[in-house]
Structure 1
Amino acid sequence: MRIFTEPQMGATYDDLLAVARRTEETGFDAFFRSDHYLTMGGDGLPGPTDAWATLAGLARETSRIRLGTLMTAGTFRLPGPLAITVAQVDQMSGGRVELGIGAGWFEAEHAAYGIPFPSLGERFDRYEEQLAVVTGLWNTPAGETFDFRGQYYQLVESPALPKPVQESGIPVLVGGAGKKRTPRLAARYASEFNVPFASVADNIRLFAGVREACEEVGRDPGSMVCSSALVLCVGKDEAEIARRAAAIGREVAELREHGVAGTPAEAVDILGRYAEAGAERVYLQVLDLTDLDHLDLVASEVAPQLV
């Protein structure tokens, strides 16, 4: 199980560091964060933190957990500098970094910070080129150069440095509910395909789609890690569940229907159903970053039952 945070809703670096350290101490596999510059509700104080600046800091202040994004917006960064940044953070972490990357979707944050926001079709065209550039730079052997001539990005005799330190390369995550293009891009470029905040039935359907896309390009479907992201709200009793739901502005019934919510026993049952649907990994979205006891409860009473 992995912990997944939404810092744009209001968090400092120190808040994220506290969660990451508790994530590591309690035995979770990884700490991931969203990549957004604008809150989706509330005042968002004290303001956004940059995803890769945050992960660079955490790379030096943790020692075991994996670190990554769900999902870096392709609209935020040019693919060449992004490849450099992520490879550097991989070096800083001793090889613990993963890159989740998507096309970008939140128009308001682009307007708020002066970031161009092309049409959906152009964003996906750019996204496909970004995946080709980032992975191409990382996979170019040392001493050789990388060239790319796309519609939106052109690279000429790039030294393709620095290199990641992970021998098998930095894992790339692609995700979403697209029926054709997203699975195809995952099959070509990704180590992992993630389904965010969807039902068991939708997970089954989307996992089948990406496996089919793998077969179409001659890739072993078993080489693709399939994962789910779900909001977390677990309590030892109904009062604690209600308190945690209220703290994130959600209804208990809705969370029970759409997330990993309820008692520890209920959480184990829900996670079991997603595992049966094909999820090999789950990202637990923690929205109240001050409630470290929440992580303790899941680590002590849910995780041991999933081994």
Structure 2
Amino acid sequence: MDLRIFTEPQQGASYETLRRVAVASEEAGYDAFFRSDHYLTMGGDGLPGPTDAWTTLAALARDTSRVRLGTLVTSATFRHPGVLAIQVAQVDEMSGGRVELGLGTGWYEQEHAAYGIPFPPLKERFDRFAEQLEILTGLWGTPVGETYDFTGEHYEIKGSPALPKPAQQRVPIIVGGGGKKRTPALAARYATEFNLPFASVEDNAAAIARVRAACAEQGRDADELTCSAALVLCCGRDEAEVTRRAQAIGREPAELREHGLAGTPAEVVDTIGRYAEVGITRFYLQVMDLSDLEHLDLVAQEVRPQL
């Protein structure tokens, strides 16, 4: 079971705060440090303001040495796929081949309005998302010395040299969500990982079944696809510590136990085990209090060895 740290910087975090968490994640032995790709807080003042996901990851590529780096998930509405392909490839080279790209349709209409980013209807966002996946994999997969062309409904690329190339032969792509038709089909076609965030064991089992069926329809071995989950983390050595950490993020221990990874290390291990039984092999631990680095150490020392 891989354990990855997942942050939500739009809620309020400077680059220095994110750097400290990423370095602490690396030193504690976590597999990866991921961040959301949002430009507007979802509650609170969000001070000091948003940080750009790929600018952040570029800097972390130089400030870390081992931990993998990625987004959960980049919004397809934010960047032209040609530009995104260059950004991801460059950060991958800067990190020595440690980048992973989570990509989604985008959903937070208010942040688009707040920064003047077009927010088309859901069908168009899905269409653009699908074209972006085709373009990104096409650009990265084009042999050096050849050119890449694409003509779609929303994007057209002519005679691209398809440079630069990522350091990795294949940048891992994460596709996720609870969609019942297009999402499983896109994951089966393009993804190396399928992720369902903030969902129950039962919902994860159903989503994994849909993705595996889509793989079968496309003639792909479903075992090639990693299945992952993301849940908010609130772990403590005793009930007082669990309560303190829950209060720090404005939640209740009972609610977190029902909907997150919460409780003592033994409780957290048990919850992870239930997800593992339905096929989850990677967990993104959503850490909301970025000042509490002891939280990361506790899980690394008392949860991870039991998995």
Match of 2:106 in 1: 104
Structure 1 runs of 4+ aligned residues shifted over 3 Å read none
Deviations 1:82-140 (A, max 9, x none): 00000000000000000000000000000000000000111001111011011110011
Tell me the equivalent position of 1:236.
Answer: 237
Alignment of 1:109-148 (within 5 A): 109-148=111-150
Aligned residue number for residue 248 of structure 1: 249
Counterparts in 2 of 1:170-185, with a 5 A limit? 170-185=171-186
Q: Name 1:83's counterpart in structure 2.
A: 85
| Secondary structure of the corresponding residue to residue 174 of structure 1 | strand
For 2:25, give the aligned amino acid.
Answer: T
What does residue range 1-307 of structure 1 map to in structure 2 within 5 Å? 1-167=3-169, 169-306=170-307
Shift of 1:239: 0.8
SS in 1 for 2:185: helix
TM-score, length-normalised on structure 2?
0.99
Per-residue deviation at 1:277? 1.3
CA distance in 1, matches of 2:191, 2:163: 21
Whole-Å separation in 1 of the counterparts to 2:97 and 2:162: 18
Paired with 1:199 and 1:60, the residues of 2 have a C-alpha distance of 36
**Deviation of the 1:208 alpha carbon:** 0.7
Residue type of the partner of 1:265?
A
Aligned partner of 2:57: which letter? L
Distance 1:244 1:184 in 2: 39
Supply the distance in 2 between the matched residues of 1:206 and 1:152 (Cα, whole angstroms).
28
Give distance in 2, aligned partners of 1:292 and 1:60. Answer: 21
Whole-Å Cα distance in 1 between the matches of residues 257 and 229 of structure 2?
A: 16
CA distance in 2, matches of 1:105, 1:66: 25
Structure 2 distance, partners of 1:85, 1:158, is 15
Q: Residue 109 of structure 2 aligns to which amino acid in structure 1? A: E
Other structure's SS at 1:232 match:
strand
User: CA–CA distance in 1 between the matches of 2:166 and 2:214?
Assistant: 27
C-alpha separation in 1, matches of 2:167 and 2:246: 40
Instruction: Give distance in 2, aligned partners of 1:11 and 1:165.
Output: 29
Q: TM-score, normalised by structure 1?
A: 0.99
Query: 2-side partners of 1:138 and 1:110: how far apart?
Result: 28
**Alignment-mate amino acid for residue 135 of structure 1:** T
Looking at structure 2, the residues matched to 27 and 272 of structure 1 have their Cα atoms a distance apart, in angstroms, of: 20
- Gap regions ≥5 residues in structure 1: none
Aligned equivalents of 1:213, 1:287: Cα separation in 2: 34
d(CA) in 2 for partners of 1:116 and 1:182? 22
Structure 2: how far apart are the matches of 1:63 and 1:29?
A: 12
Question: What residue identity is the alignment partner of 1:259?
Answer: G
**Length, aligned pairs only:** 305
User: How many angstroms does 1:68 deviate by?
Assistant: 0.1
Q: Aligned partners of 2:148 and 2:255: how far apart in 1?
A: 49
**CA distance, structure 1, for counterparts of residue 122 and residue 204 of structure 2:** 24
Residue deviations 1:147-201 (CA, integer Å, cap 9, x gap): 000000000000000001112x100000000001000000011100001000000
Deviations 1:34-66 (A, max 9, x none): 000000000000000000000000000100010
2:304 maps to a residue whose letter is A
Report SS of the residue matched to 2:233: strand
Partner secondary structure for residue 196 of structure 2:
strand
